[in-house]
Amino acid sequence: MPRLSTDFTISVLGGDRRSLEVAKVFLNMGADVRVIGLDLGTNARGLRACRTAREAMAGARVVVAPIQGIADDGRVFTGLNIPPLVLTEEDLSVLPRGAYIFAGLAGRRVLETAGRLALEVVELRNRDDFAIYNSIPSAEGAIQMAMERLPITIHGCCAFVLGFGRTGITVARLLVAMGADTTVVARNAADRARATEMRCRAIDFPRLPALISEADVIFNTIPARVLDAAVLGRARRDLVVIDLASDPGGTDFAFAAEIGILAVLAPGLPGKVAPVTAARIIADLILRTLEEKGEIPPG
In the complex, what is the shortest distance from the CB of residue 144 to ligand NAP, in angstroms, rounded to a whole number? 12
* Cα(19)–Cα(16) distance, integer angstroms: 6
Cβ proximity to ligand NAP: between 74 and 271 the closer is 271
Of 53, 67, 157, 266, which one interacts with ligand NAP (CB under 6 A)?
266
277 binds ligand NAP (CB under 6 A): no
Of 35, 67, 70, 222, which one interacts with ligand NAP (CB under 6 A)?
222
Cβ proximity to ligand NAP: between 47 and 163 the closer is 163
Rg of the chain over Cα atoms, rounded to whole angstroms, equals 22
CA angle 20, 23, 25 (to 5 degrees): 115
Cβ proximity to ligand NAP: between 117 and 131 the closer is 131
In the complex, what is the shortest distance from the CB of residue 256 to ligand NAP, in angstroms, rounded to a whole number? 17
Contacts of ligand NAP in 115-134 (CB under 6 A): 131, 134
Of 245, 274, 278, 290, which one interacts with ligand NAP (CB under 6 A)?
245
233 binds ligand NAP (CB under 6 A): no
Of 30, 79, 96, 223, which one interacts with ligand NAP (CB under 6 A)?
223
Our measurement of the distance from residue 181's CA atom to the centroid of its chain's CA atoms, rounded to an integer in Å, reads 27
* Cα(163)–Cα(257) distance, integer angstroms: 23
Omega of the bond prior to 206 within 30 degrees of 0, cis?
no
Of 98, 246, 293, 297, which one interacts with ligand NAP (CB under 6 A)?
246
Q: Residue 239 in contact with residue 261, Cβ under 8 Å?
A: yes
268 binds ligand NAP (CB under 6 A): yes
Number of residues that bind ligand NAP (CB under 6 A): 25
Of 9, 78, 182, 221, which one interacts with ligand NAP (CB under 6 A)?
221
Cβ proximity to ligand NAP: between 241 and 244 the closer is 244
Residue number, nearest CB to ligand NAP? 165
Of 65-73, 152-160, 182-190, 256-264, which part binds ligand NAP (CB under 6 A)? 182-190
Cβ proximity to ligand NAP: between 46 and 267 the closer is 267
* Cα(24)–Cα(28) distance, integer angstroms: 6
* Cα(201)–Cα(154) distance, integer angstroms: 16
Cβ proximity to ligand NAP: between 30 and 165 the closer is 165
- Site mask for ligand NAP (CB under 6 A), range 150-169, x = bound: -------------xxxxxx-
244 binds ligand NAP (CB under 6 A): yes
Q: How far apart are the first and last CA of the chain?
A: 4
Sign of CA dihedral 58, 49, 105, 75: negative
224 binds ligand NAP (CB under 6 A): yes
Sites of contact with ligand NAP (CB under 6 A):
131, 134, 138, 163-168, 186-188, 221-224, 226, 244-246, 266-270
